[in-house]
């Protein structure tokens, strides 16, 4: 029977142009099978014509929820051929909303009571589809197109009885205007879009508007409104801007609002964003508890039974890849670098499986795939820093930038991070390159990338920002490689000064920059007493945060041994030679354990906690 059905699908696909109208009469599940077969057989032009139809896409999205990941593949397959399907659907939805409101206004007042039910029903159905479409576009990273859909949804819900209002005015509604929970959700999604597309100039006023609305109506404990989701978007906004105290504050507020009735996706989002807020605050035990519970919730929701979350698992949901990246971020920051690389590899594989499927195209034009390449490039760079093997890292960052530059406007802030990663990788490759002409050319390219990233960060965040400071520190390292030692010193001092003012004197970032300046003084400027003080400062911060076997201690120990050797301090040379030998033994033990197992297997021994338990642990002094 199955073969007969498959044969019928094949016949229809082969004769699709003549049978197109009859296909519309088939059950939606059968239509989905036909569209997916068009994708598999690479008939993208025909598939694009079908998916651009708003009514068709609405039925596929809402009535075939269980096959959402296959719809993502079809969607991305069309986009990779050059058709901007996301933009087409967003524009068509906007036109549909405008037409609906115009037609509603023209209805004869004498028949208004009779037609009122129809109007309300149609508006709700249209709004339901708009919100479903916006979620779909967010999952796939089409934020600019999603903005138009969400503005149209807000326009529809706020202006049904005032259709003469312009669409562009809908994000400037007075804060005293009451909005429904559905409209509130639309605004929260819009804030998520602005955050992730780095439209901070729009995020900030929207955040203030939402909070004013919450405060005026005292909605924080109102279960009709998803306030926890709003607060976690606030946290994300401040996290992107490196305002870590505020990000931590709003993540705590969001955690306090979680209950058994909170939507499960909100629970996952709150846990994962709160974990990231804890990581940058160096509260690692809390971060571990939060991210592991987020993974356990997702494991139950998406019914994943495999201990290693295998890539061929049928239920490939975008949220799982997000969680892998967040867990990888945690592992990278607690110095479990090999395991971090594994998680970033899994995240990339899941996103490729979701958006690229079995397509053999070289480059999937998807923002989220590009960001996964970027994260993996940086983790691989860190992992291979001591080995000097950077080819894999460079391949990933080149792929990331190729996609990002194709999708984003020139000088979009999203490009700054990727350019920084590429500059770091190129610099390390250049240092070991045997040809001096090629070395200088690569170092010059690295400088241009660093300058571009610095200017974007400085223009967006200003001088006194952690991101700006990081770029100064990167330039300091580059200038050291270029033998421009005075400029290198200036950059490192500037980076340390900004980081200390923003993060305190004992933060990881301060220790990192102190170690880099110590290296400059030690190896190039021969200022050994200054180098000694900075190495000891870097050591102290590293041991305090990560313990005696922290990988970054290697460079401090090696540096101190050179310093004390040049100062003819034999006692210190012997002391630190012994300490360094003990460190090497500890690192070998840690690395052998980390390489043997998948980090997700550790979840088998973790008990999932209730929202109250999570919040109580979060508030306790466990870090």
Q: Please indicate, yes or no, whether the overall pTM of this predicted structure exceeds 0.75.
A: yes
Residues 423 and 475 in one domain: no
Residues 468 and 586 in one domain: yes
CATH number, domain containing residue 494? 1.25.40.10
Residue 331 lies in a domain: yes
Residues 399 and 473 in one domain: no
Both tokens of 583, joined, read: 């460190």
CA angle, 137 then 143 then 144, to 5°: 120
Residue 507 lies in a domain: yes
Residues 424 and 470 in one domain: no
Q: How far apart are the first and last CA of the chain?
A: 60
Is the pLDDT at 119 greater than 50? The verdict is no
Is the pLDDT at 549 greater than 50? The verdict is yes
Asked if 594 and 339 touch (Cβ cutoff 8 Å), the reply is yes
Asked if 258 and 615 touch (Cβ cutoff 8 Å), the reply is yes
Residues 318 and 357 in one domain: yes
Residues 418 and 478 in one domain: no
pLDDT at 536: 97
Is the pLDDT at 165 greater than 50? The verdict is no
pLDDT at 170: 43
Residues 529 and 405 in one domain: no
Residue among 501, 567, 571, 573 nearest 531 (CA): 567
pLDDT at 358: 64
Which residues span the domain enclosing 413?
309-439
Confidence of residue 469 (pLDDT cuts 50, 70, 90): very high
Residue 474 lies in a domain: yes
Is the pLDDT at 167 greater than 60? The verdict is no
Residue 377 lies in a domain: yes
pLDDT at 103: 79
Residue 582 lies in a domain: yes
Residue 433 lies in a domain: yes
The percent of residues in the chain predicted with pLDDT above 90, rounded, is 73
Mean pLDDT on 63-76: 91
pLDDT in tens, 223-257: 899 999 999 999 999 999 999 999 999 999 999 99
Rounded Cα distance, 294 and 291, in Å: 5
Residues 549 and 481 in one domain: yes
Is the pLDDT at 124 greater than 60? The verdict is yes
SS in 3 state form for 196-246?
A: HCCCHHHHHHHHHHHHHHHHHHCCCCCCCCCHHHHHHHHHHHHHHCCCHHH
242 CB contacts (<8 Å, ≥6 apart)? 461, 465, 466, 467, 502
Rounded Cα distance, 461 and 502, in Å: 13
pLDDT in tens, 346-363: 999 999 999 987 665 557
Confidence of residue 65 (pLDDT cuts 50, 70, 90): confident
Q: How many CA atoms lie within 13 A of 235 on its CB side?
A: 27
pLDDT at 66: 84
pLDDT at 534: 97
CB atoms within 10 A of CB 549: 18
Number of compact structural domains in the chain: 2
Tokens 């916006």 — which residue? 134
Tokens 């003469």 — which residue? 164
Residues 388 and 466 in one domain: no
Using CB atoms within 10 A of its CB, is residue 515 exposed (0-12), middle (13-18) or buried (19+)?
buried
Is the pLDDT at 113 greater than 50? The verdict is no
Is the pLDDT at 603 greater than 90? The verdict is no
Rounded Cα distance, 473 and 475, in Å: 5
User: Comparing 35-44, 296-305, 590-599, which segment has the lowest mean pLDDT?
Assistant: 590-599
Mean pLDDT on 454-482: 96
Is the pLDDT at 161 greater than 50? The verdict is no
Residue among 195, 147, 143, 192 nearest 171 (CA): 147
């Amino acid at each position: 029977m199955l073969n007969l059905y498959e044969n019928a699908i094949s016949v229809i696909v082969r004769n699709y142009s003549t049978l197109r109208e009859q296909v519309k009469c088939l059950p939606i599940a059968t239509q989905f099978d036909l569209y997916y077969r068009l994708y598999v057989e690479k008939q993208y032009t025909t598939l694009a014509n079908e998916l651009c139809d708003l009514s068709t896409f609405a039925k596929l999205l809402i009535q075939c929820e269980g096959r959402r990941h296959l719809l993502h593949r079809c969607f991305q397959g069309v986009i990779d051929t050059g058709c901007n399907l996301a933009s087409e659907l967003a524009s068509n939805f906007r036109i549909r909303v405008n037409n609906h409101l115009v037609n509603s206004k023209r209805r004869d007042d004498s028949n208004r009571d009779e037609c009122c039910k129809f109007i309300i029903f149609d508006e709700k159905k249209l709004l339901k589809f708009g919100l479903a479409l916006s979620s779909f576009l967010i999952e796939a990273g089409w934020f600019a197109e999603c903005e138009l859909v969400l503005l149209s949804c807000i326009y529809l819900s706020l202006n049904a009885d005032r259709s003469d209002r312009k669409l562009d005015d809908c994000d400037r509604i007075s804060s005293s205007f009451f909005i429904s929970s559905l409209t509130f959700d639309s605004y929260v999604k819009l804030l998520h879009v602005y955050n992730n597309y780095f439209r901070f100039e729009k995020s900030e006023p929207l955040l203030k508007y939402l909070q004013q609305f919450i405060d005026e109506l005292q909605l924080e404990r109102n279960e009709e409104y998803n306030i926890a989701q709003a607060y976690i978007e606030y946290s994300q906004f401040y996290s992107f801007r490196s305002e870590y105290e505020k990000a931590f504050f709003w993540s705590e507020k969001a955690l306090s609002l979680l209950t058994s009735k909170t939507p499960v996706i909100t629970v996952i989002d709150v846990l994962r964003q709160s974990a990231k807020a804890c990581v940058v605050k160096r509260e690692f035990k809390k971060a571990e508890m939060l991210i592991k519970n987020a993974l356990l919730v997702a494991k139950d929701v998406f019914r994943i039974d495999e201990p290693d979350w295998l890539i061929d698992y049928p239920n490939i949901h975008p949220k799982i890849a997000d969680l892998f990246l967040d867990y990888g971020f945690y592992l990278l920051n607690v110095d479990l670098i090999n395991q971090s690389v594994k998680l970033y590899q899994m995240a990339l594989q899941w996103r490729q499986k979701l958006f690229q499927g079995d397509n053999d195209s070289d480059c999937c034009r998807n923002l989220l795939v590009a960001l996964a390449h970027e994260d993996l490039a940086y983790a691989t760079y860190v992992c291979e820093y001591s080995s000097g093997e950077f080819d894999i890292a460079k391949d990933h960052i080149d792929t990331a930038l190729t996609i990002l530059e194709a999708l984003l406007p020139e000088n979009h802030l999203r490009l700054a991070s990727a350019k920084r990663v590429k500059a770091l990788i190129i610099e390390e490759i250049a240092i070991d390159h045997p040809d001096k002409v090629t070395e200088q050319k690569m170092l010059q390219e690295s400088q241009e990338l660093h300058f571009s990233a610095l200017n974007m960060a400085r223009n967006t965040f200003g001088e006194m920002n952690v991101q700006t400071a990081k770029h100064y520190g990167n330039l300091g390292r580059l200038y050291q490689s270029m033998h421009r030692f005075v400029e290198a010193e200036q950059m490192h001092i500037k980076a340390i000064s900004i980081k200390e003012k923003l993060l305190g004197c004992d933060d990881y970032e301060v220790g990192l920059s102190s170690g880099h300046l110590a290296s400059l003084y030690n190896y190039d400027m021969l200022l050994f007493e200054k180098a000694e003080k900075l190495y000891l400062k870097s050591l102290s911060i590293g041991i305090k945060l990560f313990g005696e076997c922290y990988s970054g201690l290697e460079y401090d120990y090696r540096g101190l041994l050179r310093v004390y050797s040049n100062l003819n301090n034999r006692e210190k040379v012997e002391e630190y030679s012994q300490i360094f030998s003990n460190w090497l033994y500890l690192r070998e033990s840690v690395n052998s354990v980390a390489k043997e197992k998948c980090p997700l297997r550790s979840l088998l021994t973790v008990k999932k906690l209730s929202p109250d338990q999570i919040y109580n642990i979060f508030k306790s002094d466990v870090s």
